[in-house]
Structure 1
Amino acid sequence: MPHDPTPHDAEPREIAALKADSFGRIALMQGADGVFVRRDLRFVPLWLRLPAWWLARREALGLRAIRGMDAVPQLLRWDGRRLDRSYMAGAAMHLNPPRGDVAWFHAARRLLVELHRRGVAHNDLAKEANWLVREDGSPALIDFQLASRGHPRSGWIRLLAREDLRHLLKHKRTYCAAALTPVERRLLRRRSWVRELWFATGKRAYRFITRRVLKWEDNEGQGPKA
């Protein structure tokens, strides 16, 4: 994949460390054109360099596919070692939950519709940390390391899109249950074979790798905070 030209004339400086895990260090940076977020793979252990690069490249490709879309990060630069993306001010859902905020969940659903129309499924929306409540109260999405891309009408992307929606509805059930419609309740009860396979096999392996091998301490492998 051709590299995006750097938007920074001078070497940016770090403002704050946001997160560090086995797949990279994420920091808030100040560059010539403003504040942005950097995922830096130079701190990754040698034996994890390849999977860390694969995940970062996957994120770069996902962000490139949704370039120009509102409420998602914009890809600024990817050179194989550092991924720079635009910064969106706000708080993760679990830190500022949209409790009883029907408008927030309607906007979040519209955001997913636009994402899926562009042929991208996020695949990691069970994590509340990947949903932002921005300063103006609107929703946003971050962390596209596991995103899938394809034709929006393909069976695979449509299946993954339904799983994205199910995860949003699970959050709605937690914070805004009274606003769930009968159709949404039926969708919550409908479990795809992807979900069943993940819980039967993949989730066990995921937990073993993240908790025993990589020593992640937090839930669902978000990584220890820097």
Structure 2
Amino acid sequence: MNITRDDLKRAKKRFLLHGKKRQADVYVIEQEGRPIVVKDYSKKGKLTRWYGAYTLWRERRNYEFLQQFDFVPRLIGRIDRFAFAMEYVDGPTVAELREQPEFCFLPGKLEEVVCKLHRHRFFHLDLRKRGNVMSRHGEVILIDFASSVHFSPWNPFYWLMRPLFRYVDISAVIKWRSFICPGSLSEADRRFLRRFEWIRMFWFFNKPRLPKRPGEEENGN
């Protein structure tokens, strides 16, 4: 399927996200009788467009690598330097499944998916965001790979960053487990989260936040 900028201008758009600051606009259009998701920086300011062109190039490369897996939407392709299109996923995000015990199997499937990515030296790094983990027909679907990192086999930074990046992804799995199935965390899970909260204080993508003390309320955030 070949989608052009002229196709976008003519298409009726249903916005999923009106991006703020350095975020892309994300919307759904219909092409050839099926819904398509478009991630688009074309309406942003000049500096944001150039930043967006680089992040879209990185994310599109990540999607291209991940097409070998069935837990990632199908990439349709580049529209221009400021936009690309991919398959629309029809299903709830895990953030919509709070305290729904019939979905308690999903965090286990998410952990399997994350471990498979790690075996391929790939780290998502943004699984805590509310919309980035979805469920379709009982299976986990991951989206939004703008922050993700894929290491080549000979990259020396892989061994340096692997422990930290693994902590980031696995902590998100535990977060969603506590969110969907409150009270299901083991003592090992709680210790893992406490260790990660100390590490997170020095994580440059987040504002510093002191770890919770043992016994404080577990809320999945």
TM-score range, shorter chain: 0.7 to 0.9
**Contact (CA 8 Å) 1:62, 1:120: kept in 2 or not?**
no
Other-structure match for 2:64 = 64
Letter in 1 for 2:109: A
1:75 partner letter: L
Choose from 160, 163, 176 the match for 1:171: 176
Aligned residues of 1:125 and 1:131 also touching (Cα < 8 A)? yes
Task: Name the residue aligned to 1:93.
Answer: 94
Q: Tell me how far 1:193 sits from its aligned partner.
A: 7.2
Unaligned runs of 5+ residues in structure 1 are 1-6, 206-226
Tell me the CA shift for residue 202 of structure 1.
4.4
Q: Tell me, in whole angstroms, the C-alpha distance in 2 between the residues paired with 1:16 and 1:130.
A: 19
> Which runs of structure 1 show a deviation greater than 4 angstroms over 4 or more consecutive aligned residues?
none
- For the 8 Å contact 1:18–1:27, the answer to whether it is kept is yes
1:31 counterpart residue number: 31
Q: CA deviation at 1:151?
A: 4.1
Structure 1 98/108 Cα, relative in aligned 2: closer, same or farther at 3 Å?
A: farther
Q: Could you tell me how far apart the structure 2 residues matched to 1:84 and 1:126 are?
A: 23
Q: SS at the partner of 1:90? A: coil
Q: Deviations over 1:34-82 (max 9, x none)?
A: 3221111211111312222222122112111211211212222123121
Task: Output the TM-score relative to the length of structure 1.
Answer: 0.75
The alignment covers a number of residue pairs equal to 196
User: Cα gap change, 1:9/1:75 in structure 2, threshold over 3 Å: closer, same or farther?
Assistant: closer
Give 1 or 2: higher helix fraction.
1
* Correspondence for 2:2: 8
1:203 aligned partner: 206
8 Å Cα contact 2:99/2:179 also seen in 1 = no
Specify the alignment match of 1:41 in structure 2. Answer: 41
Q: Secondary structure at the match of 1:114?
A: helix
Letter in 2 for 1:18: L
Q: Distance in 1 between matches of 2:148 and 2:3?
A: 30
Deviation at 1:14, TM superposition (A): 3.5
2:212 corresponds in structure 1 to: none
| TM superposition shift of 1:110 | 0.9
**CA RMSD between the two structures:** 2.6
Distance in 1 of aligned mates of 2:128 and 2:89: 20
Could you tell me which runs of 5 or more consecutive residues in structure 2 were left unpaired when the two chains were aligned. Answer: 209-221
Instruction: Give the number of the structure with larger relative contact order, counting CA–CA contacts within 8 Å between residues 6 or more apart.
Output: 1
Mapping 1:16-27, distance limit 5 Å: 16-21=14-19, 22=21, 23-27=23-27
Aligned with 1:139: secondary structure? strand
**Equivalent residue, structure 2, for 1:212:** none
Q: Is the 8 A contact 2:201 2:207 kept in 1?
A: no
The 8 Å contact of residues 27 and 39 in structure 2, kept in 1 or not, is answered as yes
Distance in 1, Cα, partners of 2:33 & 2:166: 34
**Deviation, structure 1 residue 172:** 1.3
What letter matches 2:66 in structure 1? I
Report % sequence identity: 21
Q: For residue 224 of structure 1, what is the aligned residue in structure 2?
A: none
